[in-house]
Amino acid sequence: MVEIGQLVIKTAGRDGGEIGIVVDIIDHNYVLVDGNLRRKKCNIKHLEFLDKVVKIKKKAATEDVNKELEKLEIALKKKGKRREAKPRPRKQRKQNSQKKKEIKTKTHSKK
């Protein structure tokens, strides 16, 4: 039986092998997991449930989950800094093209 606050290890996917806590029970197949992995809806078949259960509110914030993991002396992943967006390179227009257009319009005038 799955409980809110139960410690889990994710066995499949990108976050495989990471420890988290069940934050919400969505239905009989899916739970919301947060902690040392990305806060995501996970299939119960892709989780390994541990015996430890933490007292935590339903849909608790990520900060609260991380505090509980620190109390259990589980090392948290450090997140990297966000990169700043660089300005996009813009094409430089040639100034000669405007002069050519002026010349073409003058030569094609109708009588």
> Among residues 27, 18, 28, which one has the least CA distance to residue 65?
18
Q: Domain limits at 27? A: 6-71
Structural domains counted in the chain = 1
Residue 37 lies in a domain: yes
**pLDDT (tens digit, 9 = 90+) per residue, 25-61?**
999 999 999 998 889 999 999 999 999 999 999 999 9
pLDDT of 6 higher than 60: yes
* pTM listed for this prediction: 0.68
Query: Cα–Cα distance between 101 and 98 in angstroms, integer?
Result: 5
Residue 1 pLDDT: 81
47 with 32: CB under 8 angstroms?
no
Residue 25 lies in a domain: yes
